[in-house]
Structure formats: structure tokens, C-alpha cells
Structure 1
């Protein structure tokens, strides 16, 4: 039985020699046919196998001579692997090569070896030299064994064909890999050209493509769609306070929240740049669908962000335009959505609004004002109005706040609410803020020299001014130019400017040491931690007018105001209430020990000349008469 098995097995093994089994590789089969390699060639090659096995080290070494002779190639290989490992892999393959059979497994193994060489950086021209060395060695061995081997001429021809075939496979593998890498590189470049690097969202270019496609689809199937323009309120403050690294992390978190909100909606999301995001909501037959998504986005964005071990609060302003209801072109659609977004900002931010034709008129006005505002400082069109601050009980003036106005050449006197948002958006706020601060200090010093009273002037400091690197030097220079002593300047800042506690503390400490007083404006409306009050050298809290307007009727406002006054007292801070317009408001504040007040009940903001006539001239006359009587 055993003998019979051996006899049965031997013919099967013999029959495998000389076979070319490449039905699943027609292109490789074509190569074999092109070089005219036949089963007879493979049978001759199989006869050489014992010789190859006996001299495998010599043969393999000849293949890698090119590496060993060139230092740069040797370093390239040894950086990833060892020459010995490569020799062993090649040795195994060469022994299989001379088995006299070419099938799919043979091809796959050869391709793997080629990919290893390609991966570690060996160039194709090295392969050509190595194959020539290998062929020369094999032909030399055949010549040396000519007395033993039969059909040496046919054997040399068969080996030459085999090595030529091997070389073709390897070079083609290299080309395929290079082609694949080129395609991958091209795909990466195309992806980067259409996507935002920071968030992975489609970028401005891809958004415009998607918008153009949406308009084209509408022409084929008239289904309305909505475009959202979304801006993150207070982002600039985070970027300025914490730096660009944290600003980038913040934007990544924002984009993730937008993605989560948009799940389930037929929507394209894009980041146009900075903190501006856009969305295209398809199949928007009912505007309530757009409103629903906008409300989700607003709620998601206002959830606090954890950065540098602190919670930071922002909000989103979203403008929405519907195609074709609100426009006829791509440019107009975006412009209208943008206009609606700025209307949200103007009305307090943190919400959404659909475009309307009325807003278009407002946009034209805004563009006109922006152009004129750029020339306002040079044309000396800005003016300061001053609102006195009084002490309850004696009603003596204890300070005055400087408020900027714009005397427009055709539109008359404009309040800050009209042009300050434009100034902040365009970056003009720094120039306007600097002019305001300089003029307020100059005017206050002039009043002091004229006989007083010796009271401080309060000036609102913009976020841009506060976060400049040389704020104290900037303030010192203005005071030196105007001659005003530091103790007579009170800078009003907002809670939102103090997001980065470490940076803010250092700035405020330097100002305090210089003698400038710090007032926290709009207290109670921001998001900062109350712990800031004991960390920072803040001298005064200013209760926002929003808590004062309904204080005689609203129990919540009464409780908030009473708490702020009590808290300031315990922290040894002064507290002033703004927006006093009625005696009832004054009485409540007086009863709750608020000792400093400001509002229309006493005086509206006035030009410098009117302040002089209404308050300072009478003060000086009274002060002179009192001094004369004392003498």
C-alpha cells in the first residue's frame, strides 16, 4: 500500500513541473507569451534547481552587490531592515523560481518582495542592475556546470527568459505602486483644496460648488432650500485672551456640535474662515424646518466650553435666506443671509432671523456708514458727550462718563449703538477708542485747570485696547500727553474681557499700581465667575441698566440689584447704578445703600460746553464764594 502511494504521488509531482497556471492573471500570461517562455523552458529550469539550492548564497549575494557597493543604498535598507533578512527572503523565492512552475502564488510572492524593496526606498534602476548581476551569476554557474548539465544552451535561454519575466513583474509593480501613490497624493490635494484643514468641514470653495449645484437642482426640480450664515459671538475674545491654539480647539468643538445638530437633516456644512460657518438645508418647503435647525444650533453653541480649566460662554448669530424666495442668484442669497445674521447681532445676538427686504435697506445704510466711518476721525467728526455721576443724599457730582458720538455730515448726530458695532467688526474700534480716551483725558485736565471739580472721568475700554500687549504704556503715554493724573482716570471694562484670568490679572494689577481705577461695566450680564471679583483689583461695579428699568415692579431685578450692592459692600468695592430715570428707581437704590448713581433722572449726556455751563461753572462760583466767606 505504501509503495503504491509513492508511485501514485510521483507522477502528480512530475506533472506540475513545466506548468503555467495563470488563468486569473491574463496580463501576466500575455507577458510570458510575449517573451516566448514555454513549458519546455520551465522543465529545463526545474533541472537546474538542485544546483541553485547548492549555490544559493552565491546567487543571492550577487543580487545584493549593488546595495553593498553603494553607501547611500546600504543606509536606506538598513534603516528599515537588514540585508540578511532580505537575502533570506530572496533565497526562498529563488528556490521556488526554479521549481519549474508559475502560478498565482508565485506572482503574489514576487510582488510582495518588490513592494518591500519599493517601500524602503530602493529605486527601480537599482533593480535593473541587480537583475543583471543575478543573470550573470546564473549563466556563469551554467557554464561551470556544462560538463554535468545537458542542454546548456537551452538552459541559458530559459534562465534569461525567466529573469526577464521577473524583471518585468517587478518594474510593473513599481509602476503600479507609484501610480497608486500619485493617485493618493492627488486625492489628498483635491481633498485639501475643498476642505478646511482645521475642522475637516467643506471650505469656501466647496461650499460655493455645493450652492451652485443646489441652484441647478432647483431648476430641474423646484424644491426650495435654505442657506444659513452663522457667526460665533465673542469668538474673537477667546482667541485674543487664550491664543490661537485654544482658539483652534474651540473652533473644532464648535464644528463638532454643528455636525451633531445637523444629523438627520439634508444639509451641507462648511467653514468659510475664522468663526464663520455656513449650511445649505435642502428640501426646505417649510421655513419652520430651517427655524428648527437654527434653534438647535443656537442652543448647542451656548453650552459652555471647557478651556484652560475654565468654562467659557459664547453664542451664535444665524441669518437665513430661502432660495428662491429671498433671492435670484448665489451672490444675493449669501448676501441676504449675511444681512439677516448681522441683524441678529444688532439685536443682542444669540438667535436666528430670516431675511426680509427691510434688512436689505439696512445693509445699504451699513455699507455707507462703514465707508464714512473710516474717515470720521481724520475729519474730526467724532464728539464726546459727558454724563455726570452723583452721590445719593448730597447729590454732589463724584465723576463723569465720557460717551462718544458721531456728527455725520448728512445724517446728523449718531449714537454709539449705530456705529460702534460697525467699528468693532471692521477693526476701526481701536482708532476710535484711542481718540475717545485721549480726548476725555484732555478735556478732564482742562476742567481741572479751570478750577475743578477734581473728579475722575470714566472711559469705556474696547476689548482690542484691553488686550494689546503694551496697554499700560499706551495709557501712560496718553496721560503724559494730556497731563491728567492717573487717579482721575477710570477705565470701564466688561466681564467678557477677563476670560483668561492669568492675563487679565496681570494687566489689571499693572494698571492698579499705576494709579488708574478699574470699573466693571454692565455687571451681572456677563458669564464670568464671581471669583474674578476677589482675584482682580477692581474698584467699582456698575449695575447694568437692564436691571434698573423694571426695578420698581420686578421682584427678581430687585433681588439681583440688592445682592450686587451687598456683595460689593462686603468686598470693599464701590457700586454705581446706571440708567436711573424715575424717582421710584432712585428711592429703591437709596434704600438699599447704593451711594452712586447715573441716569437721565439727573442729566442726559451733554456736550462739554453744556456740562461746563450746567455743572462746573456753578460749582466754581459756589466754591469761590465759600472760600471768600471762610477767609
Structure 2
């Protein structure tokens, strides 16, 4: 059964008593679902009534609830409760045992991909089926709103007359259409079927209601630019049958046939139906006072064929159907459009733009464009400024692509463009257009933005899956590949990317399992003071993964994977917890230092989580230090703020890999860094050029002279050790003294000395 139902009332809707309610039963074994549903629909009114929620937490209790309350309008029913099909059993009992055919059943499940058999939906007259993740507030309201209307209609009728039965039978076809034009075409067809006549006709509708709700009035004026003061005579033909096809889209007052125009105007003026020999003008007036008229002309005299009572019922229901369709059209506009740019959003791209292009073209290309480092704009200048940038960027895309391209904003700073045919702009020129030409904002500011691009191709006659979902997924895979390789590049999807993605996905799954099962092992590489006979003065904690099947997996593989997949923070918490546990067991060890990723440093909950772990193991910040890389320092203001808060809380901050990236001596002056670890690249260059020795000596001197500690990494030979000692460095780390070893192995060695 469809989401949409034919609404049949015997008279115009009356204001309902405030004491009356629509009863909605929530039958689900999760308390959170009950709370979320009630919160989402709080203070909701439908046709003048509030919603009253009745709750049950099992199919058994749900059956008792429905037995006690025969006037429940809607059941939001979980499929999987005490058994995997408990909800389906209850649906069957509602229809077969309780003989309740009016209550509307909406099945819900928390298991994506699960769907009941079609026979279940038809046999038990299930009115809708959704996964819980689908039911956003808007979609939940729409589903309940439609179901309540259907319940109200069904309970107000005694299905006794054949004419009414025909209307009900036609409902599932007519009201499946979300498009106002298709709905109207269906109404023209159904009136012929209802009275067994053969006629041609037109459907005229006002551009706006005369008496809209404040919310609808605001929507029409702001989003549709409708002048509500000029709607009295603003009618337009929105549907026609074959005989009047040339009138489609024509304003009412421009209909060339005078007798047609006059008959319609008469019905609209008198607000009543007009039936004369071969003509019918059916007047429609919705609760929001959308006005409409269905005009029909037949070669035969239809006066005696039309049952006036049935016609009245039909007109009332078509009017309510018109209201519903208009309402859903407005919801669809909201659901498919991006609020910031007015382009399509992800839903609009998937359900409207891509289907429209690939249904009518044998070749199309989908582009995903990611604005490089957009977060720096919002962090520095605010989200309002960022929105202006997004709007200007959308305009730039309209200039860069052909006029028949469709543009969507997927999320944040990622845009999609679907281009039909073979007229796509060359990638190099596209990147140059977006990157080299400055973006001019409304206030005159000029910005240069880099873009990274992923592409997927729709080509008929190939084996490739080119559904909207697959095109988007393929473009996302290609975009991620571009971002991994180099910002400012473009990648076109091919199947080899999927193979790599599947391998990464499997490895990511294994990494999650390894974290939960404590499979990752802590190693340490000691740091020694070469001025004190190589005394161990600290230890850097390193993470190693020995997979039971795959063997040793390099940190160079699983750490970047964790960062790309949002697991970096969990990885850092894992290292801190296990380090604290080992330090707690062996308190006499030298201080340890752990690496903190840029993603973790950007987390708002970082300090609270770290403090909680330290308190749990009774460890102080004097026993564990934090190492951050230069990449953290360009992450943004939130990362720098967290760095300062960590220092204020007593944490010792080490700058790791100094010289390998965005090195700036300015960091050393303005950031709370106590120790600088000089990257091993400087050591490797010592044999290649004398300038490397001069530079390294100078850097060590500068760092020491501003009161920071120095640790030189990568010491593998005695000559290197002697050089940095002569340059003034005291603490070194490298294979000459210690290779990385399991934490507990070092503990045994350390205590034996």
C-alpha cells in the first residue's frame, strides 16, 4: 500500500474539539526509540488534534494495547523485538485476529537492508516500511501525517455504495504520485472511470492558497517568490487530457475557447459545481483554500450519468488530495534543496538530478569537487563567511560547466556536478578555472581556492553499474584516492580502485577488532643522555600490530588508515590507556612519551577523556609526555587551543619530526613546547653536504638558547653520535643505542641493570 491515500469526507472538514486526539501506538523494544519518536512529534497537530502516544515494548504487550484501544490511528511497529519477526506477527494479528482494517501500520527496523516480503506488506495491509535511520523528523512527520489522514478517512466511511468503493479502489493508483501534475492527470482519468464516461478535460489550480498558514505563507513568499496579494485571478492549467494538450501551462484567462473559460470562471466565482449537458466544471477548495477547477467535456450528454452525491464526495477528496500533494511538493523542495546554496543536496542529486540525466543520456559524467582546506576559512572567519564562499563557489561551477549540468552540494565543502553527453570540460582547465581564478565574494573579497576532484562515468552498453547510488559511490572512491595522492589532483574511477577500497575496508574492520580485543602491542624506543654515559632518560611509545593471519602490519599502513577512517582518536586513547596501565605497574621507569595525532588534537572532548584515563590509573602528567607533529600545528584554532589547554593542565609537550614538514621557528616562540625532536632527515644529510652540518648545528644551538630541550632522532652510527654531541645536543634516539622493543622486554632489561 502506498504512502498516499484518497481522503474521503462527506462534508468540509470541521474544527475538531481540543479534547480529541489522534492515538499513536509506538511498539518497540528500545526505550530510546520511544523517546525519540515522542520528542520528534512533540506539539504536533494534525487536522486540529494533538497526538497521544501509547507505548508497548513487545509484540505481546502491543496486541493487548490494540485490543484495549480500538481507536488507535497509527502503529509505529518495530519488526524485530522478542523474536526476529515479532512485529510481522503482530501486524498479522491486527488484521486477522482483531479484524482491525482502519489502523495504519508503519513498520520500522533498525537493520539496514532488511525488508519484509511483498506478501507481508499486501497480506497484512502494511501502509509503510522504513528503516529507523530514514525517519528524520520531517520524514516521520510526513509518514504519520499521511497515515492519520488515511485513518480519519477510513473510519468516517461505511463502504457501502459502489461509487465510494470505486473511489477507494482508485486511491492506491492516484495518490502514489508526488508530482502535482501527475496527480492532476490521474484525477482526470479517475473521474471518467468513476462515472463510466468518455471525456477530455483540463485541471486548473491557483498559484497559491488564499488563506495559508503563517508557515506556508512564509515558505511561498521567501522560497517561491509568490505575491499572496495577487492570487485571486492567477490560475493556470497544470494537467490536460489528450484533447486539450495544447492548453497545458496556459493561464486560465488565456484559454482561447470562450465557453470553457466562462464555465470555469462561473464555478470559481460561485464556488460550486456546474453541470450542463456535455460539460462539467468541478469546483475544488482545500482547507488552506487552494482553489482549483476540473473542467470536462464529453460528446455525450453526461447530466444523467453523474451521481451528484458521489461527485460531491469525489470533489472533496480530490481537494484534500490536492492539498496533500501541494504539501508534499513543498516538503520535497525542502528535502532536495541545500539551504545555503539553493542547489540540490545529496538527496536531490540522487533522486532527481542523476536519474533525470542518465534516463535521457547514454553518456554522463559525475564530478565530486572538494574545496581544499575549507575548514581553515570557517575557523578563521566564521561559518557565515564560509557560507558566502560556498555560494560564490556554486556560481563559479555554473560558469565552468555546460548549461545543462546539474549542481548539488553534497555536504560541507563537497560539491557534485552531473554533466550529460560528452561536453565535459577538460580536467586541467577545470582545476585551473577553480584554483587560479580568484573567487569574488559579494563584499568584494577575492579568494583563491584549490579543488580536488573525483569522477565517475555513466556509459550505456558497459558492464559497469551506473545507478545513482553507484555513480556517487564511485566518484567518492575516486575523490578519496585523489586526496590520498595529492591535493589539487583529479582521479577517474575504475574497478581497481574498488579492489583497493575493499582491501582497506577489510583491514579497517580488522583494526577495529584488534582495538576491541587489545591485540595491538606497545613497543618503546628509549632516549639516552650521551653526556651521562648513555643513561636512559625517556622512552617513546610505539604501536605495533602482529595480525594472527596477515602477520606484522606496518604502522605506516594502519595509522594512516585509522586517520582517514576517523579511528585516530580511538587509537590514541588505546595507547594512553595501555601506557598508563604499564606505567602504573612499573612506576620506577623513566618518563614515557606518546604520539598524539592531529585529528585527536582537534577533538573537543580530548582533555576530559585524557584526564579521566589518568585519574583511573592514578598517573600524573610528570610520568607521561605528549608528542605532536608540525601537522597538528596547522590544523586550526581548535587544535592550538587544545594544545595550550593541555600545557596548562601540566602536560609536557614535545614537537616531533621538527624539520620534516612545515617547520617554523615561530612555533617555538608562541606555542607551549618544552622539547623539540629534530627529524632524522638532518642526520641522513650529514654525509651529503657540509651545509647540512652547518644547518643542524645552528638549529640545535637556537633551540637550546631559547630554553628548549633537544632530542635528535635517527642516530645510527658513532660518527653521528659524536657530531650531535659536539653540536651541543645531549639526548638522542636511534638504532645505535636502542631499537624499538616490546615494552615489557625493556622493563626486564632496565631492571636487570
**Structure 1 counterpart of 2:339, from 193, 197, 213:** 197
The offset of 1:269, in angstroms, is: 3.4
The offset of 1:364, in angstroms, is: 0.9
Q: Give the whole-Å Cα distance in 2 for the aligned partners of 1:474 and 1:610.
A: 29
SS at match of 2:343: coil
For 2:575, the equivalent position in structure 1 comes to 436
Structure number with greater CO (CA < 8 Å, separation at least 6) is 1
Q: Give the whole-Å Cα distance in 2 for the aligned partners of 1:363 and 1:591.
A: 49
The offset of 1:437, in angstroms, is: 0.6
- Is 1:538 the counterpart of 2:680? The answer is no
1:23-42 matches, within 5 Å, as: none
For 1:278, the equivalent position in structure 2 comes to 416
- Is 1:616 the counterpart of 2:753? The answer is no
Offset from partner CA, 1:236-262 (integer Å, 9 cap, x none) = 7887x77xx935643652563464366
Cα distance change of structure 1 residues 529 and 398 upon mapping to structure 2, 3 Å threshold: same
Of 202-211 and 598-607, the range deviating more from structure 2:
598-607
For 1:360, the equivalent position in structure 2 comes to 498
Q: Give the whole-Å Cα distance in 1 for the aligned partners of 2:448 and 2:596.
A: 21
Larger helix proportion, structure 1 or 2?
1
For 1:99, the equivalent position in structure 2 comes to none
Q: Give the whole-Å Cα distance in 2 for the aligned partners of 1:430 and 1:519.
A: 18
User: Does the CA-based 8 Å contact 1:226-1:290 persist in structure 2?
Assistant: no
User: Does the CA-based 8 Å contact 2:396-2:434 persist in structure 1?
Assistant: no
Unaligned stretches of 5+ in structure 1?
1-113, 128-164, 306-311, 622-631
- What is the count of residue pairs matched by the alignment? 441
For 1:144, the equivalent position in structure 2 comes to none
The offset of 1:491, in angstroms, is: 0.7
Q: Give the whole-Å Cα distance in 2 for the aligned partners of 1:514 and 1:361.
A: 46
1:152-167 matches, within 5 Å, as: none
- Is 1:597 the counterpart of 2:732? The answer is yes
For 1:424, the equivalent position in structure 2 comes to 563
1:393-472 matches, within 5 Å, as: 394-449=533-588, 452=589, 455-463=590-598, 465-469=600-604, 471-472=606-607
1:165-564 matches, within 5 Å, as: 191-208=333-350, 209-219=352-362, 223=363, 225-231=364-370, 246-247=382-383, 249-250=385-386, 252-254=388-390, 256-257=392-393, 259-260=395-396, 263-266=399-402, 267-282=405-420, 289-294=426-431, 297=434, 317-324=452-459, 327-330=464-467, 331-347=469-485, 349=487, 351-392=489-530, 394-449=533-588, 452=589, 455-463=590-598, 465-469=600-604, 471-498=606-633, 507-524=642-659, 531-544=666-679, 550=685, 552-553=687-688, 564=699
SS at match of 1:280: strand
User: Does the CA-based 8 Å contact 2:436-2:448 persist in structure 1?
Assistant: no
SS at match of 2:572: helix
Cα distance change of structure 1 residues 191 and 530 upon mapping to structure 2, 3 Å threshold: farther
The offset of 1:492, in angstroms, is: 1.6
- TM-score normalized with structure 2 length: 0.48
User: Does the CA-based 8 Å contact 1:385-1:607 persist in structure 2?
Assistant: yes
Q: Give the whole-Å Cα distance in 2 for the aligned partners of 1:587 and 1:533.
A: 26
Larger strand proportion, structure 1 or 2?
2
| Pairwise CA RMSD | 5.1
SS at match of 2:510: helix
For 2:711, the equivalent position in structure 1 comes to 576
The offset of 1:319, in angstroms, is: 2.7
- TM-score normalized with structure 1 length: 0.56
Q: Give the whole-Å Cα distance in 1 for the aligned partners of 2:348 and 2:557.
A: 35
The offset of 1:545, in angstroms, is: 5.1
Unaligned stretches of 5+ in structure 2?
1-209, 218-227, 233-265, 271-282, 293-322, 442-446
User: Does the CA-based 8 Å contact 2:601-2:643 persist in structure 1?
Assistant: no
SS at match of 1:211: helix
Q: Give the whole-Å Cα distance in 1 for the aligned partners of 2:513 and 2:705.
A: 47
Q: Give the whole-Å Cα distance in 1 for the aligned partners of 2:608 and 2:377.
A: 23
The offset of 1:570, in angstroms, is: 3.9
User: Does the CA-based 8 Å contact 1:262-1:293 persist in structure 2?
Assistant: no
Q: Give the whole-Å Cα distance in 2 for the aligned partners of 1:232 and 1:186.
A: 33
Offset from partner CA, 1:343-380 (integer Å, 9 cap, x none) = 33444655333334432221111221232333222212
The offset of 1:538, in angstroms, is: 1.4
Q: Give the whole-Å Cα distance in 2 for the aligned partners of 1:498 and 1:234.
A: 14
Q: Give the whole-Å Cα distance in 1 for the aligned partners of 2:629 and 2:336.
A: 39
Of 558-567 and 506-515, the range deviating more from structure 2:
558-567
SS at match of 2:571: helix
The offset of 1:518, in angstroms, is: 0.6
User: Does the CA-based 8 Å contact 1:499-1:528 persist in structure 2?
Assistant: no
Cα distance change of structure 1 residues 199 and 472 upon mapping to structure 2, 3 Å threshold: same
User: Does the CA-based 8 Å contact 2:528-2:535 persist in structure 1?
Assistant: yes
Q: Give the whole-Å Cα distance in 1 for the aligned partners of 2:697 and 2:705.
A: 12
Q: Give the whole-Å Cα distance in 1 for the aligned partners of 2:621 and 2:583.
A: 12
